[in-house]
Amino acid sequence: MTDLAYLSVADAAELLRSKKLSPVEYTRALISRAEKYDGRLNAFLRLTPEIALEDARRAEDEILNGNWRGPFHGVPYALKDIVDYEGIATTAHSKILRDNIAKSDAAVTEKLRAAGGVFMGKLSTHEFACGGPSFDLPWPPARNPWNREHFCGGSSSGAGAATAAGFVPAAIGTDTGGSVRNPAGMCGVVGMKPTYGVVSRRGVFPLAFSLDHVGALTRTVRDNALLLDLIAGHDPSDPGSTHQPTGGYAARLEQDIRGIRIGVVRHFYTQDKQGDEEMVAAVEAAIEQLASLGCRVSEVRMAPLDVYAACYRNIMESEAYAIHEKWMQERPGDYGELARGRIMAGAFVRGADYVNATRARRQLVDAFATVMREINVVVTANSFDPACRIDDEKTLAHTFRRQARTPFSVTGSPAISVPAGFSKSGLPLAIQIAGAPFSEALLYRVAYAYEQSTAWGQKRPALE
Amino acid sequence: MSDTPLTLEEIRVMAEGIGLNELSDKQLEQLRQVTNIKRTQSSSALFASLGPADEPANVFGLTASEEGKQS
């Protein structure tokens, strides 16, 4: 039998459907692995083995009776702990919400449960999806499976760590300013931030309403496409939910990418900021690889990173402060220092600055649309540095801003992080592929072709 | 944007003005620091090209209800 810990969703689905693998056996293997190793990684805030085994037994009965529901039937998954699962606390990794029992499922949870998924538990996050790796919270921060002394990215930190560590093949994260793509890049897994509105935010604790996206972290591009196929779609109870058609992502993965026009946004990581040498080399090697696969590569320019950052800051900080104002007035001491500082930054943003940032945002969206008229997808860096040590506060603060994720948060367009190698010290490196709104299928095709032409995704962290 | 950093007393008055009355001295100092950083962060490059008619990105579009379509 294949190593169950690193079975892909697609391979597991085939084994489960054909009854060659028992959902109960599969689930027990992953529970054992998480129980054995997660004390060192803290990916889970709460592991739920009883629920997982109940879900697995139900899936087993249904599959044995010929009622296979689809690729997530009997497949374990976990949720970032700002996503509601009925009857389980959604804590946002914060003392503030320690006893906040969810009254109903989030929209994504409903879909995963309806698909027969096996719920493994709630995953670590930066506090309220905006703090950082903090040691002053009720639970410790998640650590990087490739080197537990290092940061695993965030804010969907547990989602990145759990997927890379082989605790689950798929996890749900959220991305406001890069919180799916950052841990995906730092943990060596695949993370997609879909177009704003493609996945419902209902039942997900907000950070900034106009910037929040729900996304998937998986070990393979195909699994990511399968998960987005499942969770995408209009939800009338999410006012930002799109009416555009969604889905069909996995079905189109293997379509030819020859002739696809790639625009490299090189100024992000060579001029606006200078990326780490190994990271830049990995991005450039990936671009050459895509060219060798038949893509037409040219260089394009977008607005400077500082412009996107200024726009993002004004909007995110204002919206986040509005959400947290009451608690900040009544319980400021119940926040960790990092989250409190980031949320407080919105306390005195002027109304005119917030409105002007949203006006500038529209200009940036329009400018990006103009860039996309000449090309099909954008390729650029994700983080500009490999993961630093988790206890190195100064470097954490420095590298926090050294990334090219914010532009696609501001434009609301889809962007995916794909593994692109390892540093000399053995830490994952990544590229980012982005595109026009609702071009997820194309991004997955390019990412899949690249992934299939490299062996980065086959390397595993040593957890011993 | 301002070059003059706020003092702890100034930030205390500002904080009380928006209901942040429960902050410890350490938390007030944290608020002072993040607010001073924000005051030095220029958004002028971002806003320079905005004209009076430039609309915000989050202006919503209403959809007609069944009743609205029939009227």
Q: Do A347 and B18 touch (CB under 8 A)?
A: yes
Q: Do A340 and B41 touch (CB under 8 A)?
A: no
Residue with tokens 């009416």: A243
Helix pair angle (A440-452, A277-292), 10° resolution? 100
Q: Do A313 and B41 touch (CB under 8 A)?
A: yes
The closest alpha carbon to A160, from A178, A133, A142, belongs to A142
Catalytic residue status for A155? yes
In chain B, whose CA is at the least distance from the CA of A352? B47
User: Is A105 in contact with A86 (CB distance < 8 Å)?
Assistant: yes
Please report the residues numbered 7 through 26 in chain B whose beta carbons come closer than 8 angstroms to any beta carbon of chain A. 14-15, 18-24
User: Is A142 in contact with A158 (CB distance < 8 Å)?
Assistant: yes
CA–CA separation, A61 vs A291, rounded Å? 48
Catalytic residue status for A22? no
Torsion of CA A117, A122, A124, A126, to 10 degrees: 100
Looking at residue A448, its pLDDT comes to: 98
ipTM: 0.91
Q: Do B49 and A337 touch (CB under 8 A)?
A: no
Structure tokens at A17: 């459907």
Query: Which residue in the list A155, A241, A383, A439 is annotated as catalytic?
Result: A155
CA–CA separation, A117 vs A112, rounded Å? 5
In chain A, whose CA is at the least distance from the CA of B29? A341
Query: Which residue in the list A156, A179, A413, A417 is annotated as catalytic?
Result: A179
Distance from CA of B70 to the nearest CA of A (A): 21
- Note whether B57 contacts A: Cβ–Cβ < 8 A: yes
User: Is A353 in contact with B43 (CB distance < 8 Å)?
Assistant: yes
The closest alpha carbon to A218, from A337, A29, A78, A84, belongs to A78
Contacts of A461 (CB under 8 A, 6+ apart): A145, A146, A164, A165, A188
For residues A433-450, one letter each, b for 16 or more C-beta atoms within 10 angstroms of the residue's C-beta and e for the rest, the string is bbbbbbbbbbbbbbbbbb
Enclosing H/E stretch for B55: none
Quick check: helix, strand or coil at residue A68? Answer: coil
Per-residue pLDDT of chain A (464 residues; tens, 9 = 90+): 469 999 999 999 999 999 999 999 999 999 999 999 999 999 999 999 999 999 999 999 999 999 999 999 999 999 999 999 999 999 999 999 999 999 999 999 999 999 999 999 999 999 999 989 999 999 999 999 999 999 999 999 999 999 999 999 999 999 999 999 999 999 999 999 999 999 999 999 999 999 999 999 999 999 999 999 999 999 999 999 999 999 999 999 999 999 999 999 999 999 999 999 999 999 999 999 999 999 999 999 999 999 999 999 999 999 999 999 999 999 999 999 999 999 999 999 999 999 999 999 999 999 999 999 999 999 999 999 999 999 999 999 999 899 999 999 999 999 999 999 999 999 999 999 999 999 999 999 999 999 999 999 999 999 98
Is the whole model's pTM more than 0.95, yes or no?
yes
Name the residue type at position A457.
G
- Note whether A358 contacts B: Cβ–Cβ < 8 A: yes
User: How far separated are the first and last CA of chain A, in Å rounded?
Assistant: 22
